[in-house]
Amino acid sequence: MNPLTILIVEDELITAMDLRETLEEAGHTVTAIARDFQSALTAVKTNPPDLALVDIQLTGSPVDGITTAKEILAYHPMPILYLTANSEPETFRAAKETLPAAYLLKPFRHDELKLQIELAYFNFQLHRHADLTAPGHLFLPIDKGYEKVNLADVLFLKADGSYVKVYMSGREHPYHISTNLSHLAHYFLQPNFYRLSRSLLINLDHLERLESNHLFLVDHKTPIQIPTASRKELMKKLTVVRTK
């Protein structure tokens, strides 16, 4: 496979260096070794990797590896492989919510790690390609089944805890999907869908009015607040007539 850029999130320096050596022997490049949440987030913003290896137990970090993974995925979708010495069912269930590509127990086997990385990235790219070539509809998991939804009718998606609310044109109440926004956003890669913030993905085709701090969508009465940091990028997506 082609060489990948990989972020290591690991608080134990010896383990981190062992991982780096294994990855570099396989031809990959390590973008950074992060030992806590903030350094991991900074590393992703500075140099977004193709994939991340994340230790679940991060001693000295304000949050664990699972929460760290959720936050970095909000900025940059990619495969996550967990490395942990903890095989407790509760930890595994919490990790599954972030939809990891793999969950490897320490001490890891070098050959297995290399194979899991290759498989994880292959599946990620295959999944992404399928999303890009998808038809104008998809099936959302709703009420123990799957309901067909026209992408053109989607107004916006909003993260709400462990759920994502999907607001539709002509529908009073949103759908509640049990997943995170970073994962669901993979199915909305068309140019008209824009990630306004970590918690909002909007359909620009339904944008009706734009004010200094809010925007309004057709068929949705409540205005949506525009984060200050996102306004400039949003304006670049629109054809705006400016006056002197």
Which residue has 């127990």 as its token pair? 105
Give domain limits for the chain: 5-133, 137-237
Q: What topology does CATH give the domain 5-133?
A: Rossmann fold (3.40.50)
Residue 196: what are its φ and ψ, rounded to 5°? Answer: -75, -35
Going by pLDDT thresholds of 50, 70 and 90, the confidence category of residue 1 is: low
Q: Is 196 within 8 Å of 233 (Cβ atoms)?
A: no
Task: Quote the CA–CA distance of 30 and 169 in Å, as a whole number.
Answer: 44
Convert the pLDDT of each residue in 209-233 to its tens digit: 999 899 999 989 899 999 988 888 8
- Predicted pLDDT of residue 182: 83
- Predicted pLDDT of residue 130: 53
- pLDDT over 70 (residue 128): no
Closest CA to 8 of 112, 113, 157, 126: 113
Assess if CATH 2.40.50.1020 describes domain 137-237: yes
- pLDDT over 90 (residue 88): no
Closest CA to 151 of 204, 226, 98: 204
Q: What is the largest CA-CA distance in the chain?
A: 65
- pLDDT over 90 (residue 164): yes
Convert the pLDDT of each residue in 69-87 to its tens digit: 988 988 888 999 999 988 8
Task: Quote the CA–CA distance of 164 and 120 in Å, as a whole number.
Answer: 24
Residue 205: what are its φ and ψ, rounded to 5°? Answer: -65, -20
Mean pLDDT for the stretch of residues 188-217 = 91
Computed over every residue of the chain, the mean pLDDT equals 89
Cis peptide before 107 (omega within 30 of 0): yes
Which run of H or E residues covers position 174?
none
pTM value > 0.85: no
Task: Quote the CA–CA distance of 57 and 37 in Å, as a whole number.
Answer: 11
